[in-house]
Structure 1
Amino acid sequence: MAGFILLDRPVPEVAVVTLNRPERMNAMAFEVMVPLGETLAELRHDNVVRAVVVTGAGAGFCSGADQESAGVPPGVAGVTRPTYALRAMEALEGVILAIRQLRQPVIAAVNGAAIGGGLCLALACDLRLAAPSAYFRAAGINNGLTASELGLSYLLPRAVGSTRAADIMLTGRDVTAEEAERIGLVSGVHDDVVAAAVETGRRIAGFSQPGIELTKKTLHAGIAAGGLESYLPTEGLGQLYLRLLTGNFEEATRARKERRPAEFTDDR
């Protein structure tokens, strides 16, 4: 896909989506975010793609709100200023939700600055890897606004804990890649972060397709669950579903005995 969003498939089962506005540090202009949401929606229905990598072109992952050339959100013809603001927020929120609603796991390959909404974009992903030069900032507080935007106050405490989230959000300070790995904001730091993310996607693709999709669903459901007792059946039903309807468990047992990789067919 040409323009501000690039779509590449280094291997058939992994799609790499690149925000391609490096001269603006891939800021969240609507001409970037709207096609990003559309691309993610298309990938959701691509059954060959088993994992999605999101990254940025140039030196930045995503620098958040574009304060100079944000463009025009969709669906605003003839509306008042308050309604315009609502449509603008809906367009950006839709991208966060599109990531969460993808069937495939999404891996953020944070190659540089992830600031404000860019931090939210990374947090919406299921996994995050960072380049050594990457850094993270909840920038709203530095701009005289709240640090809470696009789900940040929901996502960040669940990633790093409430105390660390409060420190990051209330001080507006930069979190380096090294600190991000230490506190669990990212799972690893890699010189070639996109290659590392693609390799992670390839590993994911080797497992059961419904198994991975259900694991993503239960991870999100578990984070939002009100209590363990009411949540346990959700996991149990997922296990029973695949245990009874596929021969995956038997194949995994045979593969271990034969000292070979398992080949899951997701069928009996």
Structure 2
Amino acid sequence: MSFVLVERPREQVALVTLNRPERMNAMAFDVMIPFKEALEAIGNDNSVRAVVLTGAGRGFCSGADQTSAGPIPHTDGLTRPTIALRSMELLDEVVLTLRRLHQPVIAAVNGAAIGGGLCLSLAADIRIASTDAYFRAAGINNGLTASELGLSYLLPRAIGTSRAFEIMLSGRDVDAAEADRIGLVTRLTEPEDLLDECFDLAQRIASFSRPGVELTKRTLWSSLDASSMAQHMNQEGLGQLMIRLLTDNFEEATAARREKREPVFRDAR
């Protein structure tokens, strides 16, 4: 079974689907590695002028896979802290690869966009959401930081600082209607209309000058880059890893969810 599907639903448009619906397209490494490879191939395919990204089933992407993260490549002989660093770097590169694509990317958010899934949607250039979609910065709920994979860089730039602080620190869900109201998404559609809406927009974008579109995308992102995103993501990752390695909070959150109780977080192991 392929965990990443690439299709050509319209001329000059690529549809990339995260295809692990039984796990709500969680960010296991056997999903994210082929996803990054698919993005790199699309970036080098000059017949593709716009990209639509979505998830199979009822989720867009549910973030970290807490059950089966999959194999992490090139980690033989490494200790746990170094493996954790390499893992974070790999996921950082997925988000950066998505953002760096020559082609504009439209996230067709069909359902849950949680944690890293929210980050993937924010790394896209445009977000159109189904009325079934919802968003959550989940790290804080898992006893970690809510800052991961560029989230504390991208979310304030998308919706403003006060809203971003509140959403990230509370760990609450943002439903589709609120996401539309605060500008987290461009617009809402009925679930059955989502992909066609995105394809129509992708084809409209593809109809314009290639350098005009690519330079517009570059300058829009450049205008938002007051500091280096890669450096910022490194700081985010180190903070996330420090808490992950020095506390049992992630394990506690997972156990509490399984046992249907409230987690009890501690500051150290």
Summarize the alignment of residues 163-242 of structure 1 with structure 2, pairs less than 5 Å apart.
Answer: 163-191=162-190, 192-225=193-226
**How many angstroms apart in 2 are the aligned matches of 1:80 and 1:12?**
47
Secondary structure of residue in 1 paired with 2:155:
helix
Q: Deviations over 1:74-115 (max 9, x none)?
A: 211111111100111111111100011100001100000000
1:122 aligns with 121
- Partners in 1 of 2:167 and 2:198 — Cα distance? 25
CA contact (8 A) 1:138 1:172 kept: yes
For 1:63-212, list aligned pairs within 5 A: 63-191=62-190, 192-212=193-213
Measured on the aligned residues, the alpha-carbon RMSD in Å equals 0.9
The answer to which structure, 1 or 2, has the higher relative contact order (CA under 8 A, 6+ apart) is 2
Counterpart secondary structure, 2:84: helix
Structure 1: which 5+ runs fail to align? Answer: 227-268
Identity of aligned residues (%): 64
- The answer on whether the counterparts of 2:114 and 2:138 sit within 8 Å (CA) in structure 1 is yes
What is aligned with 1:11?
A: 10
**In 2, distance between residues paired with 1:62 and 1:225?**
28
Cα-to-partner distance string for 1:38-69 (whole Å, 9 max, x where unaligned): 00000001111000011000000000000000
Partner Cα separation in structure 1 for residue 164 and residue 226 of structure 2: 20
Counterpart amino acid of residue 10 in structure 2: V
d(CA) in 1 for partners of 2:156 and 2:83?
Answer: 30
Structure 1 residue runs of 4+, over 2 Å off?
Answer: none
Q: Provide the TM-score with structure 1 as the length reference.
A: 0.83
2:49 is matched by which residue type in structure 1?
Answer: R
Q: Which amino acid aligns with 1:60?
A: G
Range moving further from structure 2, 57-66 or 84-93: 84-93
User: Could you tell me whether the CA contact under 8 Å between 2:61 and 2:112 is conserved in 1?
Assistant: yes
The answer for unaligned runs of 5 or more in structure 2 is 228-269
Residues 11 and 203, structure 2, Cα contact 8 Å, conserved in 1: no
For residues 67 and 83 of structure 2, what CA distance do their matches in structure 1 show? 17
- Count of residues in correspondence between the two structures: 225
Q: What do residues 156-202 of structure 1 show as CA deviations (whole Å, max 9, x unaligned)?
A: 00000000001110111100111101100000101121111111100
